[in-house]
C-alpha cells in the first residue's frame, strides 16, 4: 500500500470542507470525480488548503503578477491536499492520467517524528553496557570478533597500563614510558575502544603530554607521532586503527584561511599530508569531530569557531579519515558535538557514535566526541580481526560503516551526525560473505514434500 | 633604539628532490641547518627532521623565523621551503579538569 498526499485544484466542495474542517462536504465529489480503481481517499483526513507558488489554479495565469508576494496571495485557496492510499504505482499513474484536469500533483507522505532537542546536561545517560547493546557488540562476540591481534593506537594523554594493558607506544617526552600515565583522558579513551574490541592490542601514543601534562600539544608533535605510526606499519604490516580524540579549539591559534601557512582548511599542511600517507598505507584513522557544536560548545572554542560550518577543523575534517560526532544512548544529539561542513572536506562528520555514558569510571561520564570516537574505532578494530586492509581497504571499510549507520534524523546524510550512528551488526552483515548455497537433492526434497 | 623583529614558531617543510637518487642518504638536522644557514632561522634542536613524504623526499622540522628570515629562506631554497602554522591541539573531552 502506498500512502500519498494528492493536491487537487480548487473546487467549491473542497473549499467548504477545508473551511469546516470536515471530509463530509467533499466526500461525494471526491468519490465520483477523483477516486480511481485501486485508490482510496482517506475519509479521516479533511481537505486542507495548500497555498504556494507551485500551486496554480486552472484559470490563473502564471505570469499574472511580477510581485512574488502577490503571486503567493493569488494562490491562496487555489489548491487542496487530500490523503490517499493506493494499492500500487499503477493506481497512482491511473489517477494522474484519468484525473489530470483536477490533480496538481502526487507527493510522498512519509512518517515523521519529532527531533529531540540536543542534550546539554552534565549527567551521564546510560552505561557502557547500553553502548555495547546499541552498537551490536553481541553480533561481534558471536562471530568471535574481539579485536584480537588488531593494533589500536590511542593518540592521547597517555594510558594507565595497570588499568588497560598496553603493548608499546610513543611520546614526544622521552622520559615517558608507555602505560605509566595516571587514570585520565587517555585511559578513558582506551576503555571506550574496548567496549567493542576487548582484545585489541592497545598502543599508548601519549601525544598530549608534550606541554607539561597540560593535555595540549603542537601539530609538530602530532607529525612526529604519525611518523612513528608510519614506521610501525612499515616494519610490521597489518591492521592498525588510530584513534584521535583531540583537535584545535581556536582558529585564532592558526594562520588565516587562505594563507599558505594555514592548517584548518589546507590539505597541504604537513600534518594533513602525513595523515594521508598513513591512511594510504592501510591504517583506519578516526578523529573526534570536536566539541564546538552550536547548542552547548565547550568554553575553549573560539568565539567564531562554534556551530555549523565553523567547528570541524584540519585533520578532524580530513577527507581520508572517519570523523565521529556524538549522541547519547537514547539517540539525542549531544549539543556540543561539532557540525559540518568541515574545513578540509565539506561532508563532515562521517558518522556518529555514543558518548556521555557512565563507562570507564575515570569521570562521572565518558563524554565529548572524545568518547564517541573510540567507540567507533573499537567497532572498526573488531571487524579488522577478520577483514584485513588487504581484503577490505580503509576507504571501503569507511564506506561500509557509513552505509550501515542508523540514520537517526531520517533525512540521509546531514551535517550534525553524518550518515548516522555506527552499527556493528549491520556492518558485519555487509562485510560477511553470503552463506553458501545449500544443495538440496531430489530425495531430500521429496522427503520434505 | 631598534626593536628586535618578533620571531614566530613554524613547521618548516623542506623538499630535497636531489636526494631522491640517493634514498638512503642521511638527512639530519645539521644538513637542514646548513641549508638554512645565514637566514637567521632557528631550528629546534630537540626536533629531528621527519620524513612526511618519501616519494618527494619531503621533510619537516620545527623552528622560529622572522619575516625577514622567511624571505631569505625562500630566496635561497625557492619553492622547496614552505612555512606552516604549528597550532596548539587539545583533547576533545567535556571533562576539563586538567585540559586548560
Cα–Cα distance measured from residue A47 to residue A372, given in angstroms and rounded to the nearest whole number = 46
* Residue A54 and residue A184 in one domain: no
* Residue A142 and residue A94 in one domain: no
Q: Which three cell numbers stand for residue A42?
A: 482517506
**Domain final residue, candidates A108, A137, A153:** A108
Range of the domain at A22: 2-108
Q: Within its chain, how far is the Cα of A273 from the centroid?
A: 25
Which pLDDT value is given to residue A71?
39
Tell me the domain boundaries of chain B: 8-85
Q: Which three cell numbers stand for residue A176?
A: 615517558
Burial status of residue A34 (CB atoms within 10 A of its CB: 0-12, 13-18, 19 or more): buried
Name the residue among A320, A338, A231 with its Cα closest to residue A272: A320
* Residue A168 and residue A242 in one domain: yes
In a domain, A437, yes or no: no
Asked if the Cβ–Cβ distance from B88 to A247 is below 8 Å, we say: no
pLDDT band at A187 (very low <50, low <70, confident <90, very high): very high
In a domain, A120, yes or no: no
Cα–Cα distance measured from residue A408 to residue A430, given in angstroms and rounded to the nearest whole number = 20
In a domain, A119, yes or no: no
Q: Which residues of A touch B91 (CB under 8 A)?
A: 156-157, 185, 208, 215, 245-246, 368, 370
pLDDT at A357 over 90: yes
Q: Which residues of B touch A245 (CB under 8 A)?
A: 91-93
Residue A24: CATH number of its domain: 3.30.70
In CATH terms, the fold of domain B8-85 is Alpha-Beta Plaits (3.30.70)
The DSSP string of A103-114 is EEEEEE------
Asked if the Cβ–Cβ distance from B85 to A254 is below 8 Å, we say: yes
Q: What is the pLDDT of residues B46-95, one digit of tens each?
A: 999 999 998 889 999 999 999 999 999 999 999 999 999 999 999 887 66
Residue bearing the bigger pLDDT, A118 or A378: A378
Name the residue among A374, A225, A227, A252 with its Cα closest to residue A313: A252
Which pLDDT value is given to residue B96?
53
* Residue A90 and residue A172 in one domain: no
Q: Which residues contact A156 (CB under 8 A, 6 or more apart)?
A: A185, A186, A189, A190, A205, A206, A207, A208, A243, A245, A246, B91
* Residue A411 and residue A367 in one domain: yes
Cα–Cα distance measured from residue A135 to residue A354, given in angstroms and rounded to the nearest whole number = 8
ω into residue A349 within 30 of 0, thus cis? yes
What is the pTM assigned to this prediction?
0.77
Which pLDDT value is given to residue B20?
47
Which pLDDT value is given to residue A51?
65
Mutate to test the interface with B, among A119, A220, A265 (most CBs of B within 10 A): A220
CB A323 within 8 A of CB A342: yes
Q: What is the mean pLDDT of residues A422-435?
A: 88
CB A422 within 8 A of CB A352: yes
Domain count, chain A: 2
CB A57 within 8 A of CB A10: yes
User: CB of A262 within 8 Å of any CB in chain B?
Assistant: yes
pLDDT at A53 over 80: no
In a domain, A34, yes or no: yes
Q: What is the pLDDT of residues B4-42, one digit of tens each?
A: 678 999 999 999 987 645 555 678 999 999 999 999 999
Task: State the Cα angle at A330 between A290 and A381, rounded to 5°.
Answer: 55
Residue A192: CATH number of its domain: 3.40.50.200
pLDDT at A4 over 70: yes
User: CB of A302 within 8 Å of any CB in chain B?
Assistant: no
Asked if the Cβ–Cβ distance from B95 to A368 is below 8 Å, we say: yes
* Residue A196 and residue A256 in one domain: yes
In a domain, A312, yes or no: yes
Which pLDDT value is given to residue B23?
56
pLDDT at A70 over 80: no
Stated as kind and residue range, the H or E segment containing A39 is strand A39-41
Nearest CA in chain B to A255: B85
In a domain, A444, yes or no: no
Q: Which of A214, A219, A314 sits opposite B86 (nearest CB)?
A: A219
Q: What is the pLDDT of residues A86-112, one digit of tens each?
A: 999 999 999 999 999 999 888 887 665
* Per-residue DSSP letter, A65: -
Q: Which three cell numbers stand for residue A10?
A: 480548487
* Residue A300 and residue A422 in one domain: yes
Q: Which of A246, A262, A274 sits opposite B89 (nearest CB)?
A: A246
pLDDT band at A172 (very low <50, low <70, confident <90, very high): confident
Q: What is the pLDDT of residues A195-219, one digit of tens each?
A: 999 999 999 999 998 666 678 899 9
Mutate to test the interface with B, among A120, A154, A155, A218 (most CBs of B within 10 A): A218
Q: Where are the beta strands (DSSP E) in A206-358?
A: 216-218, 240-244, 246-247, 284-288, 322-327, 351-354
Cα–Cα distance measured from residue A18 to residue A80, given in angstroms and rounded to the nearest whole number = 8
Mutate to test the interface with B, among A186, A219, A356 (most CBs of B within 10 A): A219
In a domain, A405, yes or no: yes
* Residue A210 and residue A317 in one domain: yes
pLDDT at A432 over 90: no
Which pLDDT value is given to residue A364?
94
Q: What is the mean pLDDT of residues A373-401?
A: 97
* Residue A80 and residue A194 in one domain: no
In a domain, A117, yes or no: no
Q: Which three cell numbers stand for residue A199?
A: 582484545
Cα–Cα distance measured from residue A156 to residue A66, given in angstroms and rounded to the nearest whole number = 61
Distance from CA of A269 to the nearest CA of B (A): 6
* Residue A77 and residue A209 in one domain: no
Asked if the Cβ–Cβ distance from A370 to B88 is below 8 Å, we say: no
* Residue A151 and residue A97 in one domain: no
CB A233 within 8 A of CB A281: yes
Amino acid at each position: 500500500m502506498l500512502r500519498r498526499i494528492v493536491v487537487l485544484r480548487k473546487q467549491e466542495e473542497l473549499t467548504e470542507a477545508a473551511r469546516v474542517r470536515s471530509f463530509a462536504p467533499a466526500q461525494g465529489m471526491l468519490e465520483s470525480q477523483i477516486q480511481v480503481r485501486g485508490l482510496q481517499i482517506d475519509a479521516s483526513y479533511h481537505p486542507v488548503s495548500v497555498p504556494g507558488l507551485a500551486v496554480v489554479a486552472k484559470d490563473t495565469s502564471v505570469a499574472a503578477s511580477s510581485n512574488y508576494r502577490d503571486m503567493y496571495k493569488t494562490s491562496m485557496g487555489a489548491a487542496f491536499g487530500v490523503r490517499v492510499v493506493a494499492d500500487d504505482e499503477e493506481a497512482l499513474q491511473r489517477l494522474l492520467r484519468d484525473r489530470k484536469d483536477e490533480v496538481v500533483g502526487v507527493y510522498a507522505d512519509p512518517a515523521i517524528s519529532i527531533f529531540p532537542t540536543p542534550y546539554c546536561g552534565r549527567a551521564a545517560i546510560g552505561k557502557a553496557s547500553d553502548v555495547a547493546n546499541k552498537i551490536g557488540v553481541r553480533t561481534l562476540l558471536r562471530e568471535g570478533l574481539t579485536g584480537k591481534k588488531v593494533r589500536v593506537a590511542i593518540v592521547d594523554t597517555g594510558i594507565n597500563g595497570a588499568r588497560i594493558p598496553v603493548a608499546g607506544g610513543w611520546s614526544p617526552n622521552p622520559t615517558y614510558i608507555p602505560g605509566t600515565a595516571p587514570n585520565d583522558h587517555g585511559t578513558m579513551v582506551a576503555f571506550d575502544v574496548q567496549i567493542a574490541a576487548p582484545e585489541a592490542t592497545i598502543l599508548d601514543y601519549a601525544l598530549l603530554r608534550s606541554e607539561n601534562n597540560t593535555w595540549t600539544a603542537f601539530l609538530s608533535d602530532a607529525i612526529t607521532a604519525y611518523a612513528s605510526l608510519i614506521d610501525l606499519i612499515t616494519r610490521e604490516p597489518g591492521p592498525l586503527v588510530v584513534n584521535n580524540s583531540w583537535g584545535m579549539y581556536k582558529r585564532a591559534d592558526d594562520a588565516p584561511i587562505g594563507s599558505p601557512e594555514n592548517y584548518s582548511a589546507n590539505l597541504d599542511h604537513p600534518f594533513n599530508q602525513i595523515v594521508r600517507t598513513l591512511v594510504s598505507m592501510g591504517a583506519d584513522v578516526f578523529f573526534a569531530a570536536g566539541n564546538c557544536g552550536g547548542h552547548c560548545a565547550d568554553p575553549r572554542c573560539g568565539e567564531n569557531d562554534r556551530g555549523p560550518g565553523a567547528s570541524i577543523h584540519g585533520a578532524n575534517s580530513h577527507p581520508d579519515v572517519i570523523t565521529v560526532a556524538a549522541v547519547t544512548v537514547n539517540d539525542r544529539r549531544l549539543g556540543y558535538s561539532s557540525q559540518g561542513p568541515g574545513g578540509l572536506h565539506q561532508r563532515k562528520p562521517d558518522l556518529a557514535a555514543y558518548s556521555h555514558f557512565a563507562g570507564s569510571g575515570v569521570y562521572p561520564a565518558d563524554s565529548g566526541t572524545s568518547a564517541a570516537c573510540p567507540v567507533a574505532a573499537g567497532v572498526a578494530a573488531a571487524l579488522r580481526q577478520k577483514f584485513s586492509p588487504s581484503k577490505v581497504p580503509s576507504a571501503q571499510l569507511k564506506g561500509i560503516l557509513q552505509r550501515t549507520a542508523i540514520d537517526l534524523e531520517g533525512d540521509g546524510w546531514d551535517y550534525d551526525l553524518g550518515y548516522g550512528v555506527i552499527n556493528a551488526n549491520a556492518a558485519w552483515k555487509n562485510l560477511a560473505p553470503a552463506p553458501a548455497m545449500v544443495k538440496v537433492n531430489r530425495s531430500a526434497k521429496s522427503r520434505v514434500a | 633604539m631598534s626593536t628586535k623583529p618578533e620571531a614566530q614558531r613554524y613547521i618548516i617543510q623542506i623538499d630535497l628532490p636531489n636526494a631522491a637518487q640517493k634514498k638512503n642518504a642521511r638527512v639530519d638536522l645539521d644538513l637542514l641547518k646548513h641549508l638554512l644557514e645565514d637566514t637567521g632561522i632557528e631550528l629546534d634542536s630537540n626536533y629531528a627532521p621527519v620524513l612526511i613524504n618519501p616519494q618527494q623526499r619531503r621533510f619537516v622540522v620545527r623552528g622560529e623565523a622572522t619575516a625577514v628570515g622567511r624571505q631569505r629562506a625562500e630566496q635561497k631554497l625557492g619553492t622547496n621551503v614552505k612555512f606552516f602554522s604549528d597550532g596548539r591541539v587539545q583533547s576533545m573531552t567535556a571533562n576539563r579538569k586538567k585540559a586548560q
